[in-house]
Amino acid sequence: MKFTIDWLKQHLDTDLNDKEIINNLTNVGLEVESFENAPSELDDFIVAKILNAQQHPNADRLRVCDVDIGKSETVKVVCGAPNAKKGLFTVYAGPGAIIPKNQMKLSISKIRGVTSYGMLCSEAELKLSDESEGITELSEKYKEKIGKKYFDTKTPKVVDLSITPNRPDCLGVRGIARDLAAAGVGSLKKIKDSKLNQNFDQDLKVTIKKEKKQGCTIFGSCLIKGVSNKESPQWLKDKIISLGQKPISAIVDITNYVMIDLNRPLHAYDADKVSKEIIVRNSKKGETFEALDNKKYSLDDDMCVISDHSGVLGLGGIIGGTRSGTELETKNILLESAYFLPRSIRKTSKLLNIDTDAKFRFERGIDPKSIEAGLIKAADLIKEVCGGEVSKFDIQRLEEEKTNKVKFEISLFEKITGFKIEKKEIIKIISNLGFKINENNENLDLEIPSWRPDITQPIDIVEEIVRIKGYEHIQTLIPEKSRLKPTLNRQQKLFHFLQRSVASKGFFETVTWSFTDSKINNLFREKYNEIKIVNPISSELNVLRNSIFPNLVFYLKKNIDRGFKDLSFFEIGPVFSGTKPGEQLTVIGALQAGKYFRLNWQETERNVDVFDAKRDTVQTIVEAGFNKNKLIIKDQAPSYYHPGKSGSVFLSTEEDKPIAFFGEIHPNIVKKLDIKTEALIGFEIYLDFFKETKKKLKDQKSQFEYSDYQKSERDFAFVIDKKIKAQDLIDIIVSIDKDLIKNVKVFDVYEGENIPKDKKSIALNVTVQSSEKTLNEKDLEKINNLIISTVESKSGAKIRS
């Protein structure tokens, strides 16, 4: 938001200097991005010296000049002036400069085969005199000014504010002045009463169609007949130029001026180009129109358009069309001041990729009660500058504007901010901000001004008061240190602990959106309803995720497609089962793809499998304080796991909800998503189902301890009862000698020929390694026999011959 201090003082009566005003803008929460002189078109004209002038090789009347433009820079310029000679001081305009006489914009161009970088200017071209026979000749006194501006332009300093989305009222100079007045910087000037004569009724009919998704609720207009559109007066040009814009014509400049002045976007139509009447309606798919940015747009259904009997004239609140645009020859105009719904503006501008000043304001929320004020100010200025007769205002409404109210308890201010101010001062601040107040003992019944759509509850009033009073009044207190109350509750500690626990197992954490692509989400949705997002940030992120896996699998595939092979990702965050508050669970989930070992001299190459997922799941739960022996593993899991290679974990037999799922991701999903990997496994652990344990959360030490001595691997195959789980055998073997037995892996489960019907064969690979010596054949034989005898005695298994 740009404006000058002089412009601000048209609304604010103050004696403060520029620096004090800038400081107060920052104090009331309006961030000042910059405060500097406005650029001028004349800044592009600089003092230069011709170092050399030679005859053009292909033209008798042209010279090729080497021109010193300062900063040790020399450019070539083709010049046809007879006085272009070596040693001459003159005025140079580079590419991009606009010549004052004819408004021609310079560019790099080839003249008779020689490239010219800019132009050497005559006095006529600079509007200094009528002399056009040669280029401008400057005296020797300009010797020290080479490379500096020729024109001593004194432009006013421009304030550039960064306005947050919740303060649309400060996208107008008057709104900024109101805030400063409330902060005691001065007093807000009253808007002068208009003496506008309106002697006739508007004869151009306006209709707002009552239809679903109508984006316009109010359309105010007036007809101004007999105008003489012209170049804007200098004061108006200066205002427009200070904003970094180019003056166009008096009518267009006035509508832009009122938009910045009052935050009231307007639009002027050439009334003679409108066919019969103005119709505000929803667009139909396939309709097209050419906009004022000289682009042709194809519209979708239900976009708010301004039209006539011949078709679309413009997009309501976004951009007008060329067909009804005003020109210098325009004699009759229809001036529009309307209210368009923010959601309609946002949707249309996003789909068509259009960004305009009007759109920027309407999508944040324009004051719906400023319709008439905007028409009055603009019509007054147009009549003053362009003449003409103004009709009576025609304001069409689909609905009356509602006045929002808030009940404010005065004591709430001290409770929230920690400091007290008198009731009288609170009332003064609120009143100066435009609130209407009805006192009710220690409560205030407030009517919220129509230009503040962001104020909805008492806490917003507290923020307004402290913003104007000054944040420096809030006392800074160092938090009291207490050993009695922990900083984090158990659920928060569990959250961060599980992050570390899973990361310690070699998984990399990802952080993604809580929303995802519905196509991927449907693969993991199970029984839950799809939760669509009304206004998604993109078409690929259109639903809230029902599982932790959709985003994980998306980014895992992305990495695999880029050539990464063996990946381990995890994420912790919410998954959603419904649209109501609380219908969500916190889950930590992980995916592992590819091989567990690849090109590793220590280990045999193999794919990741369900046992890896089970191990990481169980180990994480045990590290969180639960007894491993009490966990119940069942062969049931959601449908997105492989039905024969997955399972669930319960804390006990009494629990009806599993605390975790693990397994291989269903091959159909891998195929549908075209994930090119040898294997894909995963697990999910639900934090909300954790019960409090007596054990403290304790980070595990690294298990990767390497020995300098040779390791040995032995394979065992046991025939065992079908009811006994493979994990039970692993636990028995590991417990035999934890110092020697480093790893136990299941590599085969067999049921069939030569195996009794109630039995199964489980084959295990056992890694034996000492950290003290190299094991000899006698040592290995001893541990082998001990493994066989222990397993047989504890489980009833028999070694398979």
pLDDT, average across residues 507-530 = 94
Cβ-proximal residues to 264 (8 Å cutoff; 6+ apart), any chain: 172, 258, 337, 366, 367, 370, 373, 374, 377
Residue 757: pLDDT band with limits 50, 70, 90: confident
pLDDT mean across residues, the chain: 90
Tokens of 261: 């002045």
pLDDT at 703 over 60: no
pLDDT at 329 over 60: yes
pLDDT at 307 over 80: yes
- Give the three-class secondary structure for 229: coil
Given the candidates 3.90.420.10, 3.30.56.10, 3.40.50.150, 1.10.1740.110, the CATH classification of the domain at 405-473 is 3.30.56.10
* Helices and strands counted in the chain (H then E): 18, 44
pLDDT at 192 over 60: yes
CA gap 154, 37 in Å, rounded: 8
Residue 698: pLDDT band with limits 50, 70, 90: low
Q: Which fold has domain 198-397?
A: Phenylalanyl-tRNA Synthetase; Chain B, domain 3 (3.50.40)
CA gap 196, 335 in Å, rounded: 15
pLDDT, average across residues 609-626 = 92
pLDDT at 700 over 60: no
pLDDT at 766 over 70: yes
Q: Is the fold of 2-39+155-188 the same as that of 405-473?
A: yes
Given the candidates 3.40.50.10380, 3.20.20.140, 3.40.50.300, 3.30.56.10, the CATH classification of the domain at 2-39+155-188 is 3.30.56.10
Phi (first) and psi of residue 46, to 5 degrees: -125, 160
Residue 488: pLDDT band with limits 50, 70, 90: confident
pLDDT at 743: 86
Are 24 and 469 spatial neighbours (Cβ–Cβ below 8 Å)?
A: no
Query: What proportion of the chain, given as a percentage, has pLDDT over 70?
Result: 96
CA gap 585, 580 in Å, rounded: 12
Q: CA 220 → CA 150, 313, 314, distances in Å?
A: 48, 16, 16
Residue spans per domain, the chain: 2-39+155-188, 41-145, 198-397, 405-473, 490-689, 712-799
Q: Count of CB atoms within 10 A of residue 35's CB?
A: 16
Residue 196: pLDDT band with limits 50, 70, 90: confident
Residue 774 forms beta bridges with which residues?
Answer: none
pLDDT at 241: 82
pLDDT at 692 over 80: no
pLDDT at 699: 60
Q: Which comes out higher in pLDDT, residue 99 or 548?
A: 548
Q: Count of CB atoms within 10 A of residue 364's CB?
A: 21
CA 590 remoteness from chain centre: 28
Given the candidates 3.40.50.1000, 2.60.120.560, 3.30.70.380, 3.40.30.10, the CATH classification of the domain at 712-799 is 3.30.70.380
Which runs of consecutive H residues, i.e. helices, occur in 186-249? 234-242
pLDDT at 399: 85
Are 516 and 545 spatial neighbours (Cβ–Cβ below 8 Å)?
A: yes
pLDDT tens for each residue of 396-433: 999 888 889 999 999 999 999 989 999 999 999 999 99
CATH architecture of 41-145: Beta Barrel (2.40)
Query: What proportion of the chain, given as a percentage, has pLDDT over 90?
Result: 65
Phi (first) and psi of residue 200, to 5 degrees: -145, 160
CA gap 545, 518 in Å, rounded: 8
Element (H, E) at 300: none
Extended beta strands in 489-583, E state = 508-509, 515-516, 531-532, 543-544, 567-576
CA gap 131, 414 in Å, rounded: 73
Residue 364: pLDDT band with limits 50, 70, 90: very high
Residue 326: pLDDT band with limits 50, 70, 90: very high
pLDDT at 702: 47
Residue 181: pLDDT band with limits 50, 70, 90: very high
Looking at domain 490-689, its CATH superfamily turns out to be: Bira Bifunctional Protein; Domain 2 (3.30.930.10)
pLDDT tens for each residue of 643-683: 989 999 998 877 788 999 999 999 999 999 999 999 999 99
pLDDT at 153 over 80: no
Chain length of the chain: 801
pLDDT at 309 over 50: yes
pLDDT at 48: 94
Q: CA 185 → CA 7, 24, 91, 420, distances in Å?
A: 16, 7, 45, 22
pLDDT tens for each residue of 539-596: 889 999 999 999 999 999 999 999 998 999 999 999 999 888 889 999 999 999 998 8
Cβ-proximal residues to 497 (8 Å cutoff; 6+ apart), any chain: 623, 624, 697, 699
Q: Which comes out higher in pLDDT, residue 739 or 459?
A: 459
Q: What is the pTM of this model?
A: 0.58
Q: Which comes out higher in pLDDT, residue 311 or 241?
A: 311
pLDDT tens for each residue of 8-63: 999 999 999 999 999 999 999 899 998 887 777 788 899 999 999 999 999 988 99
String of DSSP letters for 336-359: EEEEE-HHHHHHHHHHHT---HHH
CA gap 110, 90 in Å, rounded: 22
pLDDT, average across residues 302-316 = 93
- Give the three-class secondary structure for 301: coil
pLDDT at 523 over 70: yes
pLDDT at 502 over 90: yes
pLDDT, average across residues 530-539 = 91
